[in-house]
C-alpha cells in the first residue's frame, strides 16, 4: 500500500504533542493513543506553546485500524485536574507537582493485577525531568475505557524518576518497567529497568541499562524477542557543548537474562537532528523489528528502519514523510494491525508558526 497520512487531532491555535510520553495500545483494529494539548504562542522558542495557559491530557481511539479517530478527555483521575507529564511546558500555578500531595494524591499500588488479562494496559506519568521529579502509573482492564489510579512509583533511591510508558509483561504476576532516573548531579537522565513479580504490589530496581552518560540517556523503548531476550532502544545526547553542537542519536542494548544485565548492541541511528528524538521499537508479526523516530534537521520528518536479525544490523532509512515545517515534531509510537499495516503516530507541524497537531502514517513495511 502507499503511505497514507491521517490527522488524529488538529485545532487552530492549539499545541498538541509528545505521544511517546504517554502510550499507544492495539487490540486487533482498535487502537488507543494518549497525548497532551496546550495553546500555540508565536515566538515562544523551540516549542511554540503558551506556558501561561494549561495543557490537558487527551485520548484518541480508532476502531478501524487508524483511519478515523475520536478524541476526548482521558478517562482518569488526575491530581488537581492538571496535565500529565507536562510540567516543564507550563509556568508555576499550572504544574502537576504543585498539587501532587493534595487530597487526590497518588496512592500506593494496590497489587493483584493480572498482567496477562487481554484488555490490560499500563500508562506511566511524571512531574518533571530532573532531581525531585516524581512518577506514578495508571492501569486499565477494559482497553482504556477507564483508567484506575494514579498509583505512586518508588524513587528507587534515585534523585528523581521521570517515567514514560514502556513495559514488558512476562506473566500474570510479573512485569518489567523501563524508566529514566535523574543522574547523580540532578540532571536528566539515565535509563534503568524495574521489576514486579507480585502483581504490582511492589516494584524493585533491577538493573541499569548502560553507564551514566555525559549528556543523557532517556526515553527507553523495549521489545521482547524471546522469553528472556529483550532489546531496549534509548534516546541519546552527547556532552553539552552548546545546543547546535550537541549530537543526538539512538543506542540499542540487549539483555538475555530477562533484564538482569545489559550489553550495548549497536547504534541503529547515528543522528536524529537538532534536539534529538525518542525511538519507538516494534516487533513485527514476521519477526522483523521496526524502529521509528522523528528527524529534527532538514528535511524535517518521520523516519523508520528495519532489522531482520534481531537488531544486530539495520537497513537504510525509510522516509514516512519529510514535509515538516520545522524541527518541532516526532515523539512517535508505532503499532501493527492484524493485516500487517503499521500505524505510526506522532506530533507534527506544517509551518513553524502554526499549530502543532497529532497525525499518523499508515504504511506497510
pLDDT in tens, 171-189: 999 999 999 999 999 999 9
Nearest to 117 by CA among 138, 137, 139: 139
The helix/strand count (H/E) of the chain reads as: 0, 25
- What is the average per-residue pLDDT within 242-249? 74
pLDDT at 1 over 70: no
Q: Dihedral sign, CA of 236, 238, 240, 242? A: negative
Mean pLDDT throughout 97-123? 94
Write phi, then psi, for 91 (nearest 5 degrees).
-85, 170
Cα angle at 229 between 226 and 232, to 5 degrees? 120
Q: What is the pLDDT of residue 244?
A: 53
CATH architecture of the domain 4-363 equals 6 Propeller (2.120)
Domain ranges of the chain: 4-363
Interval 204-228 mean pLDDT:
96
Query: Which pLDDT band, with edges at 50, 70 and 90, does 239 fall under?
Result: confident
Q: Give the SS3 label for residue 6.
A: strand
More confidently predicted of 91 and 110: 91
Per-residue pLDDT tens digits for 56-73: 999 999 999 999 999 999
Residue 241 has pLDDT above 70, yes or no: no
Report the range of poorest mean pLDDT among 41-45, 52-56, 284-288. Answer: 41-45
Q: Is 204 exposed, middle or buried (0-12, 13-18, 19+ CB in 10 A)?
A: exposed
- At 70 the pLDDT is 98
The mean per-residue pLDDT over the stretch 12-41 comes to 98
pLDDT digits (tens, 9 = 90+) for 82-103: 999 999 999 999 999 999 998 8
Facing residues of 58 across strands? 35, 73
pLDDT at site 243: 55
| Mean pLDDT for all residues in the chain | 96
Helix, strand, coil fractions of the chain, as percent rounded to 5: 5, 45, 50
Between 96-110, 143-157, 323-337, the lowest mean confidence (pLDDT) is in: 96-110
Residue 245 has pLDDT above 90, yes or no: no
Residue 103, pLDDT score: 83
pLDDT-derived band at 332 (thresholds 50, 70, 90) equals very high
User: Cell digits for 189?
Assistant: 537522565
Its pTM surpasses 0.85: yes
Amino acid at each position: 500500500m502507499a503511505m497514507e497520512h491521517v490527522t488524529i487531532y488538529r485545532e487552530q491555535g492549539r499545541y498538541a504533542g509528545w505521544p511517546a510520553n504517554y502510550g499507544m495500545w492495539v487490540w486487533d483494529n482498535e487502537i488507543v493513543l494518549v497525548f497532551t494539548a496546550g495553546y500555540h504562542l508565536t515566538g515562544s522558542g523551540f516549542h511554540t506553546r503558551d506556558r501561561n495557559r494549561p495543557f490537558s491530557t487527551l485520548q484518541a481511539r480508532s476502531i478501524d485500524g487508524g483511519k478515523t479517530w475520536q478524541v476526548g478527555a482521558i478517562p482518569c483521575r488526575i491530581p488537581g485536574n492538571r496535565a500529565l507529564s507536562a510540567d516543564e511546558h507550563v509556568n508555576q500555578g499550572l504544574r502537576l507537582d504543585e498539587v501532587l500531595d493534595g487530597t487526590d494524591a497518588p496512592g500506593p499500588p494496590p497489587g493483584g493485577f493480572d498482567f496477562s488479562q487481554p484488555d490490560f494496559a499500563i500508562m506511566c506519568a511524571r512531574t518533571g525531568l530532573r532531581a525531585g521529579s516524581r512518577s506514578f502509573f495508571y492501569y486499565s482492564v477494559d482497553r482504556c475505557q477507564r483508567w484506575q489510579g494514579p498509583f505512586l512509583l518508588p524513587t528507587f533511591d534515585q534523585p528523581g524518576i521521570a517515567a514514560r510508558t514502556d513495559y514488558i509483561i512476562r506473566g500474570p504476576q510479573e512485569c518489567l518497567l523501563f524508566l529514566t532516573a535523574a543522574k547523580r548531579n540532578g540532571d536528566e537522565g539515565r535509563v534503568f529497568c524495574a521489576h514486579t513479580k507480585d502483581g504490582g504490589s511492589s516494584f524493585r530496581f533491577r538493573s541499569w541499562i548502560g553507564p551514566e552518560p555525559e549528556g543523557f540517556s532517556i526515553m527507553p523503548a523495549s521489545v521482547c524477542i524471546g522469553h528472556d531476550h529483550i532489546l531496549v532502544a534509548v534516546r541519546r545526547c552527547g556532552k553539552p557543548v552548546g545546543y547546535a553542537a550537541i549530537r543526538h542519536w539512538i543506542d540499542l542494548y540487549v539483555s538475555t537474562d530477562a533484564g538482569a544485565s545489559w550489553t550495548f548492541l549497536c547504534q541503529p541511528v547515528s543522528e536524529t537532528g537538532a534536539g534529538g528524538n525518542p525511538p519507538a521499537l516494534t516487533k513485527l508479526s514476521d519477526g522483523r523489528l521496526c524502529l521509528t523516530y522523528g528527524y529534527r534537521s532538514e528535511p524535517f520528518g518521520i523516519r523508520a528502519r528495519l532489522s531482520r536479525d534481531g537488531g544486530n544490523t539495520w537497513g537504510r532509512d525509510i522516509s514516512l514523510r519529510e514535509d515538516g515545517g520545522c524541527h518541532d515534531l516526532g515523539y512517535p509510537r508505532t503499532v501493527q494491525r492484524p493485516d500487517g499495516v503499521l500505524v505510526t503516530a506522532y506530533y507534527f507541524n506544517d509551518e513553524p508558526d502554526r499549530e502543532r497537531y497529532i497525525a499518523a502514517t499508515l504504511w506497510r513495511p
